[in-house]
Amino acid sequence: MRIDQEQPQMGTIEAKDPFATAPPGYGLTNDNQRWPWGQPARQVDPEAALRRAIETVERPKIKMEMLKILMTGASIEALVEGYLLEQFQKGEFMPDVGLLIKVRWLCILQTWQRKRVYCIVSLKTTMSLIGALWTMKRSSV
């Protein structure tokens, strides 16, 4: 006795084999050495990682970019999270080091924000930033 069933048309979702996928956990068996985060971290000392983060933020160009971002309403926490993620992806340190320095770095940046240490810019630069933000706000309305 032969059962005659119609075969689904090639390329349709019905023709897809539900078992034609990688088994769960397959990605954990692949070698990730080609990625920077798949190799040993360059920095394992949280104190040194925090020092490097502070040195990075103290550069004049970075300070100016931070000021621009903070003036748009972004939070310091968003900046810190972005930095930590970037450093992990570059292979600078592992997430555990990032979590250890996160709170201390947030406190340092908040103190700087309150003292306005990073806001030492000329009046001309400040006015041009305000003008640019005003133009952006008016064009978005």
Res 3: pLDDT: 57
* Nearest residue to 84 (alpha-carbon basis) of 59, 57, 53, 63: 53
Tell me how many degrees the CA angle 122-132-82 measures, rounded to the nearest 5: 85
Mean pLDDT score, 36-60:
87
User: 94-103 burial string, b = 16+ CB within 10 Å, else e?
Assistant: beebbebbbe
State the average pLDDT for the chain.
Answer: 77
Q: Is residue 30 part of a domain?
A: no
Q: What confidence tier does 137 reach under pLDDT thresholds 50, 70, 90?
A: low
Q: Please state the pTM of the whole predicted model.
A: 0.59
* CA–CA separation, 30 and 87 (whole Å): 23
Number of domains in the chain: 1
Q: Bigger pLDDT: 55 or 74? A: 55
**Structural domain boundaries, residue 70:** 46-135
**Polymer length of the chain:** 141
Res 86: pLDDT: 92
